[in-house]
Amino acid sequence: MESSVRGSDSGDARPVAHDEKCLTITAMYSGGMERLIKDEKTEVVHKIERKDDSTPLMMEEFIAYLGKTDVAEGKQDMFIQENSVRPGIMVIINMVDWEVEGELEYELKNNDCVEFISTLHGG
């Protein structure tokens, strides 16, 4: 994990194995998050075209993108707060806590799986 983040910094390990400039990223929603998503989907696969191959897709940008594509109309406020997710929503990148991965500064790679779990409303 750590090495791949560093790798993309140095430029040599940038995800190039996949098809040109297209990233395939799976977004998963649970713990009540699915209620904010269009058609209450729990899993959405995104194919994201990158215009410029040299700029990596950061988590911050990806969250804003999900807010437009996945989140149902009028519920964006319950997903996004100040360019990040709302407090109380856990973000898990490939089964690892995003706080370990650098939160908004994580660079997404091809075939990444990002899971959003809401812990709000107790349990």
Partner 1 sequence: MCDSTDSQEQQQQQEQPSGRKRATSKPCIKCKTAQPSVAIRLSVYCKDCFVKSAIVKFRSALSKSRKRAPVSRTKVMVALSGGATSSAMLRLMDDYQHMELKGAAAEPIYAGVVVGHVDESTVFSGYEDTQICAIATDCGVDVVVARLEDVFVPDSDQPALLELVHATIAPSASRDQFCVQLAKNDGATPGRERLRALFAGLGSATDREDMLDILKTFLLTRLARQAQCELLLMGDSGTRIAAKLVSLTSRGRGFSLPLEIGAESRLAGGVTVYRPMRDYIMKEIAFFNLWTKQRSVVVPTFTTGAPTTASIDRLTEAFVVGLDRDFPSTVSTVCRTVQKLELREDALDALPCIVCNLPAEPNAQVWRNRLTVSEAPNAQPALSNASAALVTDVKAQHQSPFDVTAHLCYSCQSLLHFAKPGLALPAFCFETYREHVKTAANSTSNDWHQRQETLRRQIEEFLL
Chain residues that interact with partner 1, rule: CB under 8 A: 1-2, 5, 31-32, 35-36, 75, 77-78, 87-88, 90, 92, 95-97, 99-106, 115, 117, 119-123
C-alpha 29 chain-centroid distance? 11
Q: What's the angle, vertex CA 101, arms to CA 40 and CA 123, rounded to 5?
A: 45
Q: For partner 1, which is the closer residue by CB, 20 or 41? A: 41
Q: For partner 1, which is the closer residue by CB, 44 or 104? A: 104
Q: For partner 1, which is the closer residue by CB, 43 or 105? A: 105
Distance from the first to the final alpha carbon of the chain:
31
| Smallest gap from residue 29 Cβ to partner 1 (A) | 11
Nearest to 8 by CA among 114, 109, 112, 113: 109
Q: How far is CA 110 from CA 7, 23, 52, in A?
A: 14, 5, 15
| Smallest gap from residue 19 Cβ to partner 1 (A) | 27
| Smallest gap from residue 33 Cβ to partner 1 (A) | 9
